[in-house]
Amino acid sequence: MTSAREINEKLDAILLHHHQVAEVHKEFEKPDFELKHSKTGELATKEDVLNKADEIYNNIIDDLNSLTSGRSMRDIFTNQYYVNDLSQDKIIAEEIRANKLKSEEDKQNPNSN
């Protein structure tokens, strides 16, 4: 995998992460919203969820820093031979669409938690 693609994936992960955190904030505003811990089954607080989100974000940043640390990244995206990977964009769009669909299905079927 090329450096540009790896960096792009991490940048896309950051954007997706910010979107998901914004969704969590919206969900926690609803009075009947409950989120259970995936391993223990106990109810998770907003603070627990946001702490885990911070941990995930920091891991993404650490990965991004390890990709770029000590390497020349000048003109990596302005290189005339660099072509945006449309197939990767399509995969990301499908993942986002699938996540939204699952979220809507979960809203319609509250007993699935």
pLDDT tens digits, one per residue of 7-38: 889 999 999 999 999 998 888 888 888 888 87
Residue 81 is predicted with a pLDDT of 47
Distance CA 44, CA 75 (A): 44
Distance CA 108, CA 4 (A): 40
| Report field, pTM of the whole predicted structure over 0.85 | no
Is residue 54 predicted with pLDDT exceeding 90?
yes
Residue 55 tokens, joined: 């941990």
Q: How confident is the model at residue 57 (pLDDT cuts 50, 70, 90)?
A: very high
End-to-end CA distance of the chain: 38
Is residue 80 predicted with pLDDT exceeding 50?
no
Backbone angles phi, psi at 60, to 5 degrees: -65, -45
Calculate the average pLDDT of the chain: 82
